[in-house]
Amino acid sequence: MSRRDDPQQTYRDFTDAVNMRPGELAKWLETDKSKHVGWRRRGAQSGETVGHQSGRRILDLLRRRRSDLSEDDYRHMRKVVGYVRRHMAQRPSGDVRDTRWRYSLMNWGHDPAKAPLPPPGGPSRKALRRHGAPPKERRGPGR
């Protein structure tokens, strides 16, 4: 089994890429900004964007038990991870808080304006806000 097809690795990559909690994502998906950003498929009856549709599916995945996930669910998780990685590599310069780029990523469950989540077993996000991030030499890999 390749690393790409490993369900545990796919789940880890997905939970790293999706940094919005289910409640945050659900609230975001209800906004007009969420509904008006992104690409629409030709001939789509609902007019819903691909990203918004994916966001609803991500919300469903986040609320399910891991044991209830199907191969199709893991395939969608890999799609989400790929989307987030590609678009993070295309980050525009300057303040991105009110950009279509950020809104599109948020439809896919990733808010680039959020600080990265602390590693498991590390300090909580609240503690990081209170005390600041540790010096680079004390951070884990990739942080």
pLDDT by residue (tens digit) across 60-83? 999 999 999 999 999 999 999 999
In a domain, 48, yes or no: yes
Residues 10-39: tens digit of each pLDDT: 999 999 899 999 999 999 999 999 888 877
How deeply is 140 buried, as exposed, middle or buried, from its count of CB atoms within 10 A (0-12, 13-18, 19+)? exposed
Range of the domain at 49: 7-127
| pLDDT average, residue stretch 78-93 | 90
pTM score of the predicted model: 0.74
Domain presence at residue 135: no
Q: What does the alpha-carbon distance between residue 9 and residue 37 come to, in Å, rounded to a whole number?
A: 30
Sign of the CA dihedral running 59, 61, 62, 65: positive
Q: Is residue 138 part of a domain?
A: no
Residue 136 lies in a domain: no
Q: Residue 105 and residue 90: Cα distance in Å, rounded? A: 11
Q: Which tokens in the block code for residue 139?
A: 């951070």
Q: Is residue 143 part of a domain?
A: no
Is 30 among the domain residues? yes
Q: How many domains does the chain have?
A: 1
Domain for residue 137, yes or no? Answer: no
